[in-house]
Amino acid sequence: MGAGSVREAQAPMQSPVNWGLLGLIIERPSYAYELARRFERTYEGALSLSSVSQVYTALGTLRERGLVQEVAGTARTLSSSKRRYEATPAGLAGHSEWLIAQANEGRRRQRLLITQLGALARTPERALGVLDEYERACLAELAAAPPASDTTPGTTGMVSRLIGEETRQSVAAKLRWVHYARAQVALSAEAQARAAQRQA
């Protein structure tokens, strides 16, 4: 095979902004400026754009990767700023894979916290201090969760309710884990104290 006959493997797309824009395109084919407006409303507080021009850059990347394409017929009839984009089958599949990877990333971060907490086991007061801070962060997250009674119609209300419920269930599980972890740190401290007494 000649050079260039096999497309070079691309590095995974890392930009959450690009993936966020792809999600909006999956929801509804859109043009760049509309995407920028929807992006700010949808991802408020979770993701942000540096400027509207970032949308054009992201669309170029998504097109190059074969994740989006112009809606048939818009290229000839509209200026480049009004061309609408839709997701390709590769875009739909890639977006689903990215969403699952985000869930796995959250679990990886939690394992990292636990591993680092284990590193503090020789100083139980520090481990307990970290757990106290973690608990406060969880309670702050819970306080900021959207109310379960959000009655906004359509997708916006549904997303708000899903975020609120996921937050409540997730924080409840984390708080149960904090209680369990405190007990484990206390048991470890007792075992260390007994071992030190035996050696004395």
Residue 128 confidence (pLDDT): 93
Distance in angstroms (rounded) separating the CA atoms of residues 172 and 60: 42
Task: Give the residue-averaged pLDDT of 165-176.
Answer: 94
Residue 149 confidence (pLDDT): 75
E-state strands within the chain: 68-70, 85-87
User: How do residues 40-97 score in pLDDT, each as one tens digit?
Assistant: 888 887 888 998 899 999 999 999 999 999 998 765 555 566 789 999 999 999 999 9
Was domain 16-91 assigned CATH 1.10.10.10?
A: yes
How many C-beta atoms lie closer than 10 Å to residue 88's C-beta? 17
Distance in angstroms (rounded) separating the CA atoms of residues 72 and 75: 7
User: How do residues 143-161 score in pLDDT, each as one tens digit?
Assistant: 988 887 777 777 778 888 8
Residue 170 confidence class, pLDDT cut points 50, 70, 90: very high
Whether residue 10 is predicted with pLDDT greater than 80 in this model: the reply is no
Residue 4 confidence (pLDDT): 45
User: How do residues 93-142 score in pLDDT, each as one tens digit?
Assistant: 999 999 999 888 888 888 998 998 888 878 889 999 999 999 999 999 99
* The pair of three-digit structure tokens given for residue 133, joined into one six-digit string: 């801070």
3-class DSSP state of 71 = coil
Beta carbons within 8 Å of 153's beta carbon, 6+ residues apart: none
- Output DSSP code: residue 85: E
Where along the chain do its domains lie?
16-91, 120-199
* The pair of three-digit structure tokens given for residue 40, joined into one six-digit string: 């700010």
Beta-bridge partner residues of 86 = 69
The pair phi, psi for residue 70, each rounded to 5°, is -70, 140
Q: Torsion angle, CA of 188/118/173/161, rounded to 10 degrees? A: 160
Q: HSE-up of 60 (CA within 13 Å, CB side)?
A: 7
Residue 78 confidence (pLDDT): 54
Task: Give the residue-averaged pLDDT of 179-189.
Answer: 92
Residue 180 confidence class, pLDDT cut points 50, 70, 90: very high
